């Protein structure tokens, strides 16, 4: 009976926000969840989103069910945004796209596809990775193992370790890659390294599986942030790509994203799409319409599209500013001679501080700075005004 059910542990990321809410200290900071905040540390709704919603209201659109695969205008827009409208994979209709419940739901649908059509195949995930990846594959009953990624000695990429672990995996494994702004480390391969990763994956007949949760948010350019995916697509490889609009359009709660499967022909793509629909139907029947219409309106309207790019650059720019300010404060305040330049080199929303579990707990318990226990802080939740305070907290915790 229900009586026998034990208490589940709090989620390592979303649980942090719950603890933050309960804290009454005036200097408290929530650097746990990766959600963009303004300089006043308030949530931000993009102007283009408000404009798109106004258009939608004026048109008086209905609330009929969407098809299982989602809104056609969204699916077209999202694939074109990812690959570029003139990419061969689009022109040859080789991409099976289905709207998903944001990044997480799209990853989950891909995991279900792997479980059903590649039974026993393993997914290789980076060590470390976004915490939910393991949950997703565990719940989908897809076996996974880790490849080396982060090197604590250099606070950089363990490229040789990564390559040799991908080589050592059984042929035909899926290799989960973060398209840009690797979470949690903020460390991305260089273009030359991406080529070498693609070489090994091809050699091993692995299938690349991209998680693209930050397109436009890493560099401020939508195209530059998709270059890793496009490099693989240009080689004619089959690949999986999950997309999310939580961060780049600030649509966290709308749950809008997509799964794209690049196939060897349009015929295969049609069959794959039919199977994605078959998997989605008993799970959630069909996806929600509101976020899909927002994306379709923003991407499909050249004025709104340009304005979106500006707002994205503004958000990415604010994060780069606090990154710089945090680095300056750490360097100025810390007399130990420690090199903090890794903070500057990391890309995207996060900084991987290198703080261990006990030190991360000191950040929270003594300094009221809420963060995940792996030492990751979300710079999107930091204001310029609080950089010095955060630097004091980090230095104290490091040398503790
Ligand atoms: N993948 C990665 C690497 C992420 O960081 C996130 C967001 N934290 C997601 C996927 C998915 O988030 P969502 O389900 O909100 O789109």
Domain 9-45+309-398 CATH assignment equals 3.30.450.20: no
Residue 113: Cβ-neighbour burial (10 angstroms; 0-12, 13-18, 19+): buried
The pLDDT of residue 155 = 86
Torsion sign (Cα): 310, 76, 135, 208? negative
Residue of 51, 122, 247, 325 marked active site:
247
The pLDDT of residue 16 = 85
In the chain, domain spans: 9-45+309-398, 65-300
SS3 190: coil
How far away, in angstroms, is 165 Cα from ligand 1 center? 24
Outline where DSSP puts E strands in 216-349. Answer: 239-244, 256-262
* Dist CA 217 CA 178 (whole Å): 13
Residues with CB under 6 A from ligand 1: 34, 102-104, 130, 178, 183, 211, 213, 244, 246, 252, 257
Ligand 1 atom 16: residue of nearest CA: 103
Cα–chain center distance at 5:
32
Ligand 1 atom 13: residue of nearest CA: 103
* Dist CA 126 CA 156 (whole Å): 13
The pLDDT of residue 11 = 81
Q: Helix axis angle, 290-300 relative to 72-83, nearest 10°?
A: 50
Angle at 49 between CA 45 and CA 51, to 5 degrees: 120
Provide the ipTM: 0.99
The pLDDT of residue 399 = 86
The pLDDT of residue 347 = 92
Q: Is the peptide bond before 128 cis (omega within 30 degrees of 0)?
A: yes
- 169-178: pLDDT as tens digits: 999 999 999 9
Angle at 242 between CA 373 and CA 216, to 5 degrees: 80
In sequence order, the 6+-apart residues with CB closer than 8 A to the CB of 350 are 34, 181, 183, 184, 185, 186, 376, 377, 378, 379
Identify the bridge partners of residue 186 per DSSP, sorted by sequence position.
none
User: In this structure, what is the dihedral angle of CA atoms 246, 249, 251, 254, given to the nearest 10 degrees?
Assistant: -100
The pLDDT of residue 151 = 94
- 263-299: pLDDT as tens digits: 999 999 999 999 999 999 999 999 999 999 999 999 9
Q: What is 65-300's CATH topology?
A: 3.40.640
* Dist CA 337 CA 352 (whole Å): 19
Low-confidence ranges of the chain (pLDDT < 70): none
């Amino acid at each position: 009976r229900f009586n026998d059910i034990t208490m589940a542990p709090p989620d390592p990321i979303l649980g942090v926000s719950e603890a933050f809410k309960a804290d009454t200290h005036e200097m408290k900071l929530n650097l746990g969840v990766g959600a963009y905040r303004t300089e006043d540390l308030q949530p931000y709704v993009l102007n283009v989103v408000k404009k798109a919603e106004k258009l939608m209201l004026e048109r008086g659109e209905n609330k009929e069910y969407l098809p299982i695969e989602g809104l056609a205008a969204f699916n077209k827009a999202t694939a074109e945004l990812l690959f570029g409208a003139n990419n061969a994979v689009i022109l040859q209709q080789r991409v099976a796209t289905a709207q998903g419940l944001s990044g997480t739901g799209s990853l989950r649908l891909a995991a279900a596809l792997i479980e059903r059509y590649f039974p026993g195949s393993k997914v290789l995930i980076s060590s470390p990775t976004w915490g939910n990846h393991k949950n997703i594959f565990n719940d989908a009953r897809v076996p996974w193992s880790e490849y080396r990624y982060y090197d604590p000695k250099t606070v950089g990429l363990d490229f040789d370790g990564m390559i040799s672990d991908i080589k050592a995996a059984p042929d035909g494994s899926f290799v989960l890659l973060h398209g840009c702004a690797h979470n949690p480390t903020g460390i991305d391969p260089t273009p030359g390294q991406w080529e070498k990763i693609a070489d090994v994956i091809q050699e091993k007949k692995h299938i690349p599986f991209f998680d693209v949760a930050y397109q436009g948010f890493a560099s401020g350019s939508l195209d530059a942030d998709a270059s890793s995916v496009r490099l693989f697509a240009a080689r004619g490889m089959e690949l999986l790509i999950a997309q999310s609009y939580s961060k780049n359009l600030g649509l966290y709660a709308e749950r809008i994203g997509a799964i794209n499967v690049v196939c060897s022909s349009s015929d295969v793509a049609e069959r794959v799409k039919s199977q994605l629909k078959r998997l989605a139907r008993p799970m959630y029947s069909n996806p929600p319409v509101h976020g899909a219409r927002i994306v379709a309106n923003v991407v499909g309207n050249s004025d709104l599209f340009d304005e979106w790019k500006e707002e994205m650059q503004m958000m990415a720019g604010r994060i780069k500013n606090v990154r710089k300010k945090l680095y300056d404060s750490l360097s100025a305040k810390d007399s130990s001679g420690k090199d903090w330049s890794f903070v500057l080199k990391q890309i995207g929303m996060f900084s991987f501080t290198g703080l261990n579990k006990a030190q991360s707990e000191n950040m929270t318990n003594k300094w009221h700075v809420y963060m995940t226990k792996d030492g990751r802080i979300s710079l999107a939740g930091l204001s310029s005004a609080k950089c010095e305070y955060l630097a004091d907290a980090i230095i104290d915790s490091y040398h503790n």
